[in-house]
Amino acid sequence: MLDASRVAATLQEALDDWDRLAPSLRALAASLDAGDVEGEPLDPSALLSPLPRAYEWVDGSAYLNHVRLVRRARGAAPPPTLETDPLVYQGGSGILLGPTDDVPLPDPAWGLDFEGEVCVVLGDVRQGTRVAEAARCVRLLCLANDLTYRNLVPAELEKGFGFFQSKPATAFSPFAATPDELGPAFRDGRVHLRLAVRWNGKQVGDLDAGADMHFSFLDLVQHLAKTRGFTAGTILGGGTVSNAGQGRGFSCIAEQRAQELVDGGAPRTRFMLPGDTIEIEMRDGAGRNLFGTIAQRVVAP
Amino acid sequence: MLDASRVAATLQEALDDWDRLAPSLRALAASLDAGDVEGEPLDPSALLSPLPRAYEWVDGSAYLNHVRLVRRARGAAPPPTLETDPLVYQGGSGILLGPTDDVPLPDPAWGLDFEGEVCVVLGDVRQGTRVAEAARCVRLLCLANDLTYRNLVPAELEKGFGFFQSKPATAFSPFAATPDELGPAFRDGRVHLRLAVRWNGKQVGDLDAGADMHFSFLDLVQHLAKTRGFTAGTILGGGTVSNAGQGRGFSCIAEQRAQELVDGGAPRTRFMLPGDTIEIEMRDGAGRNLFGTIAQRVVAP
């Protein structure tokens, strides 16, 4: 690694002034890659989330298979506009968990679930931005573990104001990458790579994050920007990655339980408990771990 | 005014290190009040929101009269837990309007409404904070104009994920005050003062922000902190100020329309249109304009 603090003290500062600062950051990275300068060793387990606190964290739900399965599990119908009008919710962004932070679980009855997601970090987005301009707003990509207390969801959504207590702090991958690092795997506003999810050391999901993303990140940006603008540093999630059909596994327990409910009349898989581990990562065709690994353990506080 | 930038470059910086920096800020204020130093003239119309972008903006709906009236207007029942479980929503906080910023209205059919609110700015709040400890988390008080596109609300809430497009950027008062500035008017986690609301120059609301606030700010902090912590600089609103019974007017158009619907079968008052003005302020017993005046004009973009 190279210390970039003489270019920008924080990632937020770089995002705030991206056009001016990004060339210097790229030059630093190039000098390290070329061996022109000697880097320092990096311990990924010491890294925080790329933005340990962000000005906004907005999460879409662009993989419709997830929406259909999870709503079926709680006896709620998907909205009639499911395929034409993106579902997004405003998440809490003031405290974001680091990639290896413990996940505190004050009450196992809350039904802690993980959700493996792909995210983009946006530059400034003006109100009224359309799909065609949205690609220019994507500064970085990363992964998220959008933790959810499933058993708090039904009563909370019943109140009509969306998620609040049912969404504890979200965790992010140790690295965020510029789109060029993904090459053609990032196209049409989607990341066409596999998301690996390991729960207690066992791979439970090997999901294609591209094909089944019904609304692209560009569609989501247009949806977000209909009535307001967004500051640089806004994190936008694509929602729990989910593939229609069977065989690729799951990136959240709720889907597995929903499938069990459909197949056998009752969910069999439990939610997370203290001691459980969850790992989420994404590799490219060359096997590079693009964003590092989210690797968390659930603990009783 | 006195420039306080040698103590803290931004209000967020002061909030991040409040215990260490607040005494210096208080000393500066005291020196100005005592005439020991000569201040500079201040043009309130040049001020931004106290936090032009914040890490979180969470808005409660603690005045139950508002919930009952507005839900009646859109044919939705208040939740059965209305009096025991606070309603809160996660607002967008990356771009917050200044107190005299124009309110852009891309489409009058969206039904632009104002909402006069009292807010607190919090210090760090740990997960699990209870009412008894919550008073120590209140750093500042201010006002908000929580703008809403009423005609976008029903379809959006129907989708189940809460407000998003129906809430454009919120505006805040030019000043935020420490609780001691309010003296006994801030007690039991409520502000016992009148909120004045003027629409197109006519006073439409003169509301008691204290008595009818069913859940106090301390109750709301406990509710928020059930499953996660909050960073210093989080803004928490109490919701549209609303008094049961008639005679004190309204702090949002939706209530007036709901009342007209109940009284006469149809709403008569229109929503805001380009050219409209809205002013919101709060005076103490001595007539001091505690937080300055939110004074905005609606404009076609």
ipTM of the shown complex? 0.96
Q: Do A104 and B91 touch (CB under 8 A)?
A: no
Which of B87, B106, B166 has its CB closest to that of A159? Answer: B87
The pLDDT of residue B299: 98
Q: Are B217 and B300 in contact (CB under 8 A)?
A: no
B220 burial class (0-12, 13-18, 19+ CB within 10 angstroms)?
Answer: buried
pLDDT band, very low/low/confident/very high, at B75 (cuts 50, 70, 90):
confident
Which chain B residues contact residue A104 at CB under 8 A? Answer: 127
Q: What is the pLDDT of residue A16?
A: 98
A76·B160 Cβ contact <8 A: yes
Token pair of B153 as six digits:
């609300």
DSSP A85: S
Task: Find residues 127-166 of chain A whose CB sits inside 8 Å of chain B.
Answer: 127-128, 149, 152, 155, 157-166
Q: Does residue A81 have a pLDDT over 80? A: yes
Whether B87 has its CB under 8 Å from any CB of chain A: the answer is yes
Distance CA A49, CA A294 (A): 10
> Measured between CB atoms, does A233 come within 8 Å of chain B?
yes
Q: What is the pLDDT of residue B83?
A: 95
Provide the pLDDT for residue A196: 98
pLDDT band of residue B74 (cuts 50, 70, 90) is: confident
Average pLDDT, chain A: 96
Task: Please indicate if any CB of chain B lies within 8 Å of the CB of A39.
Answer: no
Q: Do residue B76 and residue A160 have CB atoms under 8 angstroms apart?
A: yes
Q: Do B158 and A231 touch (CB under 8 A)?
A: no
Apex B9 CA angle, B8 and B15, nearest 5: 50
User: Residue B136 pLDDT more than 80?
Assistant: yes
Q: Note the pTM of the prediction, 2 decimals.
A: 0.97
Spatial separation of the C-alpha atoms in residues B30 and B18, rounded to whole Å: 17
Which runs of consecutive H residues, i.e. helices, occur in A34-167?
A: 64-73, 131-134, 153-158
Among A126, A105, A284, A121, which Cα is nearest to A191's? A284
Query: How many C-beta atoms surround the C-beta of residue B282 within 10 A?
Result: 28
- Cβ contacts below 8 Å, chain A against chain B, sum to 142
Suggest the residue from A58, A59, A93 to mutate for an interface test with chain B (most B CBs closer than 10 A).
Answer: A93
Exposed (0-12), middle (13-18) or buried (19+): which is A261, by Cβ within 10 Å?
A: middle
Per the listing, tokens 């007690």 go with B187
B201-254 tens-digit pLDDT: 999 999 999 999 999 999 999 999 999 999 999 999 999 999 987 789 999 999
Structure confidence at residue B84 (pLDDT): 96
> B199: pLDDT confidence band, cut at 50, 70 and 90?
very high
Q: How confident is the model at residue B35, as a pLDDT?
A: 95
Q: Which residues pair with A125 in a beta bridge?
A: A230
**Location of structure tokens 């506080």:** A301
Q: How far apart are CA A72 and CA A266, in angstroms?
A: 12
pLDDT band at B76 (very low <50, low <70, confident <90, very high): confident
What is d(CA A45, CA A174) in angstroms, rounded to the nearest whole number?
8
Residue A117 to residue A147: CA distance in whole angstroms: 10
Average pLDDT over residues B4-21: 97
Residue pointed to by tokens 């049912």:
A166
Residue A234 pLDDT exceeds 90: yes
For strand B112-113 and strand B148-149, is the pairing parallel, antiparallel, or unpaired?
A: antiparallel
pLDDT band at residue B167 using 50, 70 and 90 as cut-offs: very high
CA–CA min distance B159, chain A (Å): 5
* pLDDT interval class at B77 (50, 70, 90): confident
User: Crossing angle, helix A253-264 and helix A64-73, to 10 degrees?
Assistant: 60
Residue B284 — pLDDT band, cuts 50, 70, 90? very high
Residues 6 or more apart whose Cβ sits within 8 Å of residue A241: A63, A66, A116, A117, A118, A195, A205, A207, A208, A209, A213, A251
Residue A92 has its nearest CB partner, among B85, B161, B228, at: B228
A168 in contact with B, Cβ within 8 Å: yes
A-chain residues within 8 Å CB-CB of B55? Answer: 53-55, 93-94
Q: What is the pLDDT of residue B1?
A: 95
pLDDT at A31: 96
**Residue A138 predicted with pLDDT over 90:** yes
CB contact under 8 A, B106 and A127: yes
Give the gap in angstroms from C-alpha A68 to the nearest C-alpha of chain B.
13
Q: Give the 3-state secondary structure percentages of chain A, helix then strand then coil, rounded to 5.
A: 25, 25, 50
> Are B223 and A104 within 8 A, CB to CB?
no
Give the C-alpha separation, B103 to B172, whole Å: 12
Q: Which helix (H) or strand (E) segment is A222 a member of?
A: helix A217-224
Using the predicted structure, report yes or no on whether residue B10 has a pLDDT greater than 90.
yes
Nearest Cα residue in chain B from A169:
B228
Q: Does A61 touch chain B (CB under 8 A)?
A: yes
Task: Name the phi and psi angles at A104, rounded to 5.
Answer: -75, 140
Model confidence at A207: pLDDT above 80: yes
Asked whether the predicted pLDDT for residue A77 surpasses 90, the reply is no
Asked if B161 and A87 come within 8 Å (Cβ–Cβ), the reply is yes
Residue B91 host element (H or E): strand B88-91
Residue type, B122: L
Any chain B CB within 8 A of the CB of A237? no
- In this model, does residue A73 exceed pLDDT 90? no
DSSP one-letter code for A212? T
User: Which residues, in sequence order, are CB contacts of B175 under 8 Å at separation 6+?
Assistant: B44, B47, B50, B142, B290, B291, B292
Cα(B88)–Cα(B69) distance, integer angstroms: 17
Query: Do A200 and A171 contact (CB within 8 A), yes or no?
Result: no
DSSP state of A91: E
Give bridge partners of residue B294 from the DSSP assignment: B280
Single-letter amino acid code for the residue at B40: E
Interface touch A166/B227, C-beta < 8 Å: yes
Model confidence over A105-118: pLDDT tens digits? 999 999 999 999 99
